[in-house]
Structure 1
Amino acid sequence: MDDTNALLTQPVFAQAVQFIWREAEILDRKDYRAWLDLWSPNGFYVVPIDPLATDFAATLNYAYDDHHMRELRVQRLSSGYSPSVTDAARTVRTVSRFTMSSDSVDMVDVRSAQVIVAYKRGVSTLFAADVEHRIDLSDGGPRIVQKVVRLIDSTDALNAIGFLL
């Protein structure tokens, strides 16, 4: 379903969009522990290199994090021992262009566009991506089951990705 006018009237769509906006705000605050709480224990955070990849386990990715790897990534980002963390970029995320597909009211797939402005040492860097969230809306509140961030320049040499997309 991708008729935006019809989507705007659906409570499930509104709940999913608000959840994604909340995730963006949490990441901009660098509240990585709160970000971990947004996830289903069996969820995957994926940043593929190949823009057409669908079998993430069989392809090379910038990130392919299950529960354990997300915890390790957050530990690294929160420890203060990593050079990329001690001087971490400040970020502002804009998430828009939402579309939703769903087989049920409990599990929804939301696609969006995300632009991140990262500011570090007097330099602003833009990251643009198509993002796919699979969100479990069943009992216990929304949880991310899968988040795939497809950077528009993923096949180029990338640097300064010392934060979560």
Structure 2
Amino acid sequence: MNNADATVLNAHGASDVHFGEVAQFLFREAELMDSHRFNDWLDLWCSDGLYWVPCNSENLTPDKSVSLIYETRSQLDDRVFRLKGRHAHAQSPRSRLMRVVSNMVIEEASTESVTVRSNFVLGEVRSDRQETWFGRNRHVLLREPNGLRIKEKKVFLLNNDSPMNNLTFLI
């Protein structure tokens, strides 16, 4: 059997999710972010989604620690509005982005949701400056009638306790 066609089994041996479907979803999300297709990226989110980029430690709670980003879906809508218009001066010109998503591991799966961890390397080029970002993602995806949607996304940047340049693009 091809790994892309592999089915993840739950504790009871029932098939809940296809690994290939989850991988394609994460690859698609990366492509949309890298190509600045903001509305299409927002369409991947549940209406009550949560986007979190912690600062300093991966194991802190957002209500008791500083976060680089901690946004609800409506705050993501505002972020995208700024990125699409002339309101994000820090993204003029826009960053050119390319990310590689790898090492996907399904932590939990049911007929309603799947939790998946992955690693990423993100290259950013802007104004003759080149940055490389390394990190881990944790997605909680819900199955809706139109396919998988992001309920929660946590991005842990490996250098999150170091001084950083502009992070106004989507990570």
| TM-score, normalized by the shorter chain, greater than 0.5 | yes
Helix, strand or coil at the partner of 1:77: helix
Deviates more, 1:42-51 or 1:22-31: 42-51
Helix, strand or coil at the partner of 2:36: coil
1:9 is matched with which residue?
6
In structure 2, what residue type is equivalent to 1:9?
A
1:119 is matched with which residue?
125
Following TM superposition, by how much is the alpha carbon of 1:132 offset from its aligned partner in structure 2, in angstroms? 0.5
Tell me which stretches of 4 or more aligned residues in structure 1 moved more than 6 Å: none
More strand by share: 2
Structure 1 length-normalised TM: 0.90
Quote the Cα distance in structure 2 between the aligned partners of 1:97 and 1:157.
27
Helix, strand or coil at the partner of 1:25: helix
Please point out which of 14, 25, 30 is paired with 2:31.
25
The alpha-carbon distance between structure 1 residues 54 and 136, as it changes in their structure 2 partners (threshold 3 A), is farther
Partners of 2:134 and 2:158 within 8 A in 1: yes
Quote the Cα distance in structure 2 between the aligned partners of 1:103 and 1:32.
28
* Deviation by residue 1:94-125 (Cα, 9 ceiling, x = unmatched): 00001002241321111000110000122210
Quote the Cα distance in structure 1 between the aligned partners of 2:61 and 2:18.
28
More helix by share: 1
Q: Identity rate of aligned residues, in percent?
A: 27
Partners of 2:54 and 2:62 within 8 A in 1: yes
Quote the Cα distance in structure 1 between the aligned partners of 2:4 and 2:57.
27
1:99 is matched with which residue?
105
The alpha-carbon distance between structure 1 residues 37 and 52, as it changes in their structure 2 partners (threshold 3 A), is same
1:135 is matched with which residue?
141
Counting matched residue pairs gives 161
* Deviation by residue 1:42-87 (Cα, 9 ceiling, x = unmatched): 1101110032334223321111110111011101111123211221
Following TM superposition, by how much is the alpha carbon of 1:8 offset from its aligned partner in structure 2, in angstroms? 5.7
* Deviation by residue 1:119-161 (Cα, 9 ceiling, x = unmatched): 0122210000011011012422110011100000001111121
Please point out which of 48, 51, 67 is paired with 2:54.
48
In structure 2, what residue type is equivalent to 1:148?
K
Partners of 2:121 and 2:132 within 8 A in 1: yes
| Residue 137 of structure 2 is aligned to residue 162 of structure 1 | no
Quote the Cα distance in structure 1 between the aligned partners of 2:109 and 2:39.
30
Q: Runs of 5+ in structure 2 lacking a partner?
A: 8-16
The alpha-carbon distance between structure 1 residues 7 and 26, as it changes in their structure 2 partners (threshold 3 A), is closer
